Structure 1
Amino acid sequence: MPDRNAVLTVLSDLVDAWRRHDADAYGELFTEDATYVTFVGTRYQGRTEIVESHRTLFEKFLKGTRLADEVVDVRFLTPDTAVVTGRGDTYKGTPPKKLTKVQTYTLVRQDDRWRIAAFHNTKRKPVMEAISFRAAPALRPTERTA
């Protein structure tokens, strides 16, 4: 399945650009008009904002970090649109055993190249999840994928 592999390569390239703290290479993986929502709720619009925000993050708050990423699911909505659900986290030193964020990527094929058109990052709250599942068991997903 070459399209799946091509989509996964984009995410691998994203992790590699993060490892090098290369904001330009990181941003190049996004469409020109991409949206990027951080786990704190900040929304960036467009490649330029994504690049500049990551340039600052790599120099300050995320200096020296690496990106851990695990793909949970890849679905093709059309031959040129893929949605990837995954888990991720930033770390220094040893990679974390549990990834604390759930991430959704929407990728599109443009000029025979896959790029990220939208990214959303959410911090998991396992205690709140457990409480809600205990109080209302019907809320529990049938399969634990995120």
Structure 2
Amino acid sequence: MQTTDSRTREAEIEAIKKVVADVQHTQQNELPDEFVSLFREDAIWTTAHGRRLIGRDAISEFTHQVLPGAMTGSTATYEVEHVLFIRPEVAAVKVRQRYLTLDGEPMPGDSEGSPLYVMAKEGGQWRLVAGQNTLVREP
């Protein structure tokens, strides 16, 4: 029999997965405002190419520059691989990001990213607080 704590934990993981699914949706559909709304005001974000962005305004400015048109020749999927609860309302979330052609085939070359998101639950909603994306290089 499941305990209340394990049901609560599963519900929180599902809520976190929903935020990651929203990241995927906003990226695939090039929705910069909706993407930025997933972040806390004081969030920090590091792109796969090392660009450091501090605060939602900086994240918004960057996203509005790069996202429109970014999905014309490719797309990406996001899959939660692991959730580590640091506290009940703070989680480290390991994500597998796959870069695909519009036909769903892996992109040639670097076709995977390995984001780590730190998320916090505030006012009943999980938000991105910090993110670090890293390209996966195969040997």
How does the TM-score come out when normalised to structure 1?
0.79
Distance 1:56 1:72, change over 3 A: same
Cα distance in structure 1, aligned partners of 2:100 and 2:64: 17
| Partner SS for 1:123 | coil
Cα distance in structure 1, aligned partners of 2:22 and 2:34: 9
Identity across matched positions, percent: 24
Matched, 1:103 2:112: no
Shift of 1:123: 1.0
Shift of 1:96: 4.2
Matched, 1:123 2:124: no
Shift of 1:59: 2.8
What is the one-letter code of the residue matched to 1:20?
A: N
Aligned partner of 2:31 in structure 1 is: 22
Please state which structure has a larger fraction of its residues in helix: 1
Partners of 1:57 and 1:63 within 8 A in 2: no
| Partner SS for 2:67 | helix
Cα distance in structure 1, aligned partners of 2:56 and 2:125: 16
Q: How many residues align?
A: 126
Shift of 1:40: 1.1
Moved over 2 A (4+): 63-67, 89-92, 94-99
Where do 1:1-146 residues align within 5 Å? 1-60=10-69, 62-64=70-72, 65-97=74-106, 99-127=111-139
Shift of 1:109: 0.6
Gaps of 5+ in 2: 1-9
Partners of 2:44 and 2:54 within 8 A in 1: yes
| CA deviation vs aligned residue, 1:18-41 (integer Å, no higher than 9, x gap) | 122111100000110111101111
Cα distance in structure 1, aligned partners of 2:52 and 2:104: 27
Cα distance in structure 1, aligned partners of 2:96 and 2:137: 13
Gaps of 5+ in 1: 128-146
Aligned partner of 1:144 in structure 2 is: none
How does the TM-score come out when normalised to structure 2?
0.82
